[in-house]
C-alpha cells in the first residue's frame, strides 16, 4: 500500500536505500557493489523491507520528505520489485523520490513503472558524451543511450531529471569536456552534477595507473575543467548551489540538501549510512551479511559514532560552506574572512556577515574551511 500524508514535524527526513547490484563495475568505482550476486536480489529486497519497517516503527509519526535509491544500479532491479520498497515508505506531501539509473538499463517500460509509483526524479549516470572518454572510465554505454534514457523519463512524465558527468579521465581534452557540457545542456536536464574523477585505492583504475597503463589525474587540468563547467552551466541558466552541483531555479536536490544541512536520514541496505538524532551509523558492507543479519531478526548496523558538540559544529560549518547560501562568519574569524575575500576565495553573501565561496574558492574549499576554523580556535 502506498502512503501519503502531511509531515508531522517540521524537520526533513530522508531515506536512503542502497541497491548494490551492477551489470558491470566501472574502473573508478569503490562503492559497495557486486556484479555476481543477482541470485540474491529477491532476498535482498525482502531484507530491505524488513529493515525499513523496523526503522519506521521506531519513528511512527515521521514521513519522508525525500527518498533516494542509490547504488550500484537501482534500474537493474525489476521495477515493480524495487517499487515495493518505495510503497512501504510513508511519504510527506510533495516528497522528492529519486532513483539513480544507468542509461543502458533505464527503458521506457522502467520509467513508466517508476512514474506510476510517485518517482518524480531520476539521476542518470551519463559521465561523458565522448566515446573514448567513456572507454577510459570503463563505462559500457554510448552517448545515444543517454538520449534515449532522457526521452524515456520525459515521456513517462517524471518531472525532474539530473545528469551525472565526470571530468578528468585519462585522455580527456578540454575540448572533450566542452563537448560533454554542451551535450548535457542540449538534453535540458533540470539539474547537473559534475564531479572530478578521483582515484580510489584498490580500484581497477588505481591499478592501471600504478602499472603505467593510465595517466594519473592532474589537479590543474581538473581545476580548468571545473571552471569551464561553472562558466558554461551558469551561462545556460544553471545556478551552482553546492560545489559539484548546479540546478535550474528551484530544482536543487532536496535529498542531498538534507545531508549538507545536517538533517536526519535513515539508511536501508548494505553499506548504507544513516544519521538520526545526532547519531551517525552504518550498515554491514556485504550483501550476504546484510541479508543474514536481517533474516535473523538483528539490526544490520556495523558501527556508530556520536560527535562531541565542537566536532559536530565543525562538520556542520564545513558542509554549509559548500553551499551557495554560505555561512555566517564565526566570531573571531572576521579578519581571516576579510583576507579570504581580498584574495578572491570568499565573497559576501546575501546577508550581513555571511560569506560564500567564489569559483576559485570552491577549488580550495577545504583550505578555506580550515583557515576560518583555526581563526576561531578550540
pLDDT for res 162: 98
Q: What is the mean pLDDT of residues 79-101?
A: 97
Q: Name the E strands within the chain.
A: 3-5, 13-19, 64-71, 90-101, 121-127, 160-167, 191-196, 239-242, 245-247, 264-268, 273-276, 279-283, 301-306, 327-328, 346-348, 354-357
The pLDDT tens digits of the residues spanning 20-31 come to 999 877 777 667
Contacts of residue 21, Cβ cutoff 8 Å, sequence gap at least 6: 33, 34, 35, 37, 38, 41, 44, 71, 72, 73, 76, 77
The pLDDT value given to residue 378? 65
- How many angstroms separate the CA atoms of 378 and 375, rounded? 9
Place of cell 538524532: 277
Residue 7: pLDDT over 50 = no
* Whole-angstrom distance, CA of residue 68 vs CA of residue 75: 13
The answer to which of 28-42, 225-239, 272-286 has the lowest mean pLDDT is 28-42
Is the pLDDT at 292 greater than 60? The verdict is yes
Residues 316-348 have pLDDT tens digits of 999 999 999 999 999 999 999 999 999 999 999
Strand, helix or coil at 332? coil
Arithmetic mean of pLDDT over the chain = 92
The residue-averaged pLDDT of 152-174 equals 96
Q: Which pLDDT score is estimated for 1?
A: 28
What is the spatial distance between Cα 240 and Cα 23, in angstroms, rounded to a whole number? 32
Between CA 150 and CA 188 the distance in angstroms is 9
Q: In whole angstroms, what is the distance from residue 342 CA to residue 350 CA?
A: 18
Average pLDDT over residues 225-246: 98
Q: What is the pLDDT of residue 352?
A: 78
Give mean pLDDT, residues 133-159. 93
**Grid cell at residue 36:** 555476481
Helix, strand, or coil (residue 54): helix
Q: Give the span between the Cα atoms of 13 and 67, in whole angstroms.
A: 9
pLDDT mean over 215-221: 90
Contact status, residue 98 vs residue 253, Cβ threshold 8 Å: yes
Give the whole-number percent of the chain exceeding pLDDT 90.
80
Cell matching residue 343? 584574495
Which domains are present in the chain? 3-259 (3.20.20.70), 310-376 (1.10.10)
Most distant CA pair in the chain, distance: 60
| pLDDT band at residue 62 using 50, 70 and 90 as cut-offs | confident
Beta bridge partners of residue 346, listed in sequence order: 357
What is the reported pLDDT for 35? Answer: 80
pLDDT digits (tens, 9 = 90+) for 344-370: 999 998 777 899 999 999 999 999 999
Element (H, E) at 375: helix 365-376
Residue 198 pLDDT exceeds 50: yes
| Model confidence pLDDT, tens digit, residues 35-57 | 889 999 999 999 999 999 999 98
pTM, rounded to two decimals? 0.93
Q: What pLDDT is recorded for position 30?
A: 66
List of residues 6+ apart from 306 with CB closer than 8 A: 278, 279, 280
Angle at which helices 108-116 and 79-87 cross, to 10°: 20
Residue 228, pLDDT score: 98
Amino acid at each position: 500500500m502506498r502512503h501519503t500524508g502531511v509531515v508531522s514535524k517540521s524537520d526533513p527526513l530522508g531515506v536512503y536505500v542502497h541497491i548494490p547490484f551492477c551489470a558491470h563495475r566501472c574502473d573508478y568505482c569503490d562503492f559497495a557493489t557486486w556484479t555476481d550476486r543477482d541470485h540474491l536480489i529477491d532476498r535482498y529486497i525482502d531484507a530491505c523491507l524488513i529493515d525499513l519497517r523496523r526503522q519506521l516503527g521506531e519513528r511512527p509519526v515521521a514521513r519522508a520528505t525525500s527518498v533516494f535509491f542509490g547504488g550500484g544500479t537501482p534500474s537493474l532491479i525489476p521495477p515493480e520489485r524495487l517499487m515495493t520498497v518505495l510503497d512501504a515508505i510513508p511519504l510527506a506531501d510533495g516528497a522528492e523520490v529519486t532513483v539513480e539509473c544507468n542509461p543502458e538499463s533505464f527503458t521506457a517500460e522502467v520509467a513508466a513503472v517508476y512514474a506510476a509509483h510517485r518517482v518524480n526524479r531520476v539521476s542518470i549516470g551519463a559521465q561523458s558524451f565522448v566515446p573514448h572518454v567513456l572507454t577510459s572510465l570503463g563505462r559500457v554505454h554510448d552517448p545515444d543511450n543517454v538520449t534515449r534514457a532522457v526521452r524515456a523519463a520525459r515521456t513517462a512524465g517524471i518531472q525532474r531529471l539530473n545528469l551525472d558527468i565526470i571530468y578528468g579521465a585519462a585522455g580527456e581534452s578540454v575540448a572533450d569536456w566542452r563537448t560533454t557540457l554542451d551535450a548535457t545542456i542540449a538534453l535540458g536536464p533540470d539539474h547537473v552534477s559534475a564531479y572530478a574523477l578521483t582515484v580510489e585505492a584498490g580500484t581497477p583504475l588505481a591499478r592501471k595507473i600504478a602499472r603505467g597503463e593510465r595517466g594519473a589525474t592532474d589537479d590543474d587540468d581538473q581545476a580548468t575543467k571545473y571552471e569551464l563547467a561553472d562558466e558554461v552551466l551558469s551561462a545556460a541558466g544553471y545556478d551552482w548551489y553546492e560545489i559539484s552541483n548546479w540546478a535550474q531555479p528551484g530544482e536543487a536536490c532536496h535529498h542531498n540538501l538534507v545531508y549538507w544541512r545536517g538533517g536526519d536520514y535513515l539508511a536501508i541496505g548494505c553499506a548504507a549510512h544513516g544519521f538520526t538524532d545526532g547519531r551517525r551509523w552504518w550498515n554491514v558492507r556485504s550483501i550476504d551479511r546484510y541479508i543474514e543479519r536481517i533474516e535473523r531478526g538483528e539490526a544490520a548496523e556495523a558501527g556508530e559514532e556520536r560527535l562531541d558538540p565542537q566536532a559536530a559544529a565543525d562538520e556542520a560549518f564545513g558542509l554549509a560552506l559548500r553551499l551557495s547560501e554560505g555561512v555566517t562568519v564565526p566570531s573571531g574569524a572576521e579578519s581571516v574572512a576579510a583576507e579570504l575575500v581580498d584574495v578572491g576565495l570568499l565573497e559576501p553573501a546575501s546577508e550581513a556577515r555571511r560569506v560564500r565561496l567564489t569559483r576559485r574558492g570552491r577549488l580550495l574549499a577545504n583550505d578555506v574551511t580550515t583557515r576560518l576554523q583555526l581563526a576561531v580556535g578550540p
